[in-house]
Chains A and B, each alone.
Chain A
Amino acid sequence: DAGVIQSPRHEVTEMGQEVTLRCKPISGHNSLFWYRQTMMRGLELLIYFNNNVPIDDSGMPEDRFSAKMPNASFSTLKIQPSEPRDSAVYFCASRLRDSGVPLHFGNGTRLTVT
């Protein structure tokens, strides 16, 4: 079991640039989550997919953020244009079904926007 795989591990970009974060969930998991973690706000749910369909995107901060899940083994989170306040660690997580079972996190992407 390779776990949830995220890339890149670190991303440094300038304000205004487009950033794309990538995630490969655990095979067989049908629920996928994107979280953002900061010291100030803790863990925030950005978006939740079930069977590749976005179910809840109420946590997406604004229209600059978008997420896709074109198939069961790949998801992206895009920020365009990026701003310094987007600097955070972004986690992708997956689990076998939508509730009551462990959530498996990737090791995150640390994003720095200068």
Chain B
Amino acid sequence: QQQVKQSPQSLIVQKGGISIINCAYENTAFDYFPWYQQFPGKGPALLIAIRPDVSEKKEGRFTISFNKSAKQFSLHIMDSQPGDSATYFCAASSGNYQLIWGAGTKLIIKP
């Protein structure tokens, strides 16, 4: 019930392509869905976040799509660049301090 399932585990995309990472959840009480980006040797950093009252949020080349009925949300990276190569984590919380983390996706953008 508390899990967030993230896929794929790893992803290789050509430069300029679209990277798509998916997450699914069960707990309908979740009301905050952030995505974090982590570079090697660094801590995760917030990339973009969404609440379930909207179906999409876009910030630059990064978009979260949210499907409340399917209990799924995804991160799309448009025009992927080598500098986007990192590990991406989805997460969810239900109005308290706990963030339930996905397992992470290692993204490699090939030049």
Contact = CB atoms under 8 A, between A and B. Distances in A.
Do A and B pair up? The answer is yes
A100 B93 contact: yes
Nearest to B100: A45
A112 interface: no
Interface string B23-47: 0000000001010100001111110
Interface in B55-111: 89, 93, 95-99, 101, 103-104
Contact of B95 (A50, A99, A105, A107): A99
- Chief secondary structure at chain A's binding surface: strand
- Chief secondary structure at chain B's binding surface: loop
A43 B89 contact: yes
A105 B44 CA distance: 6
A106 B97 contact: no
A55 B43 contact: no
A86 B33 CA distance: 30
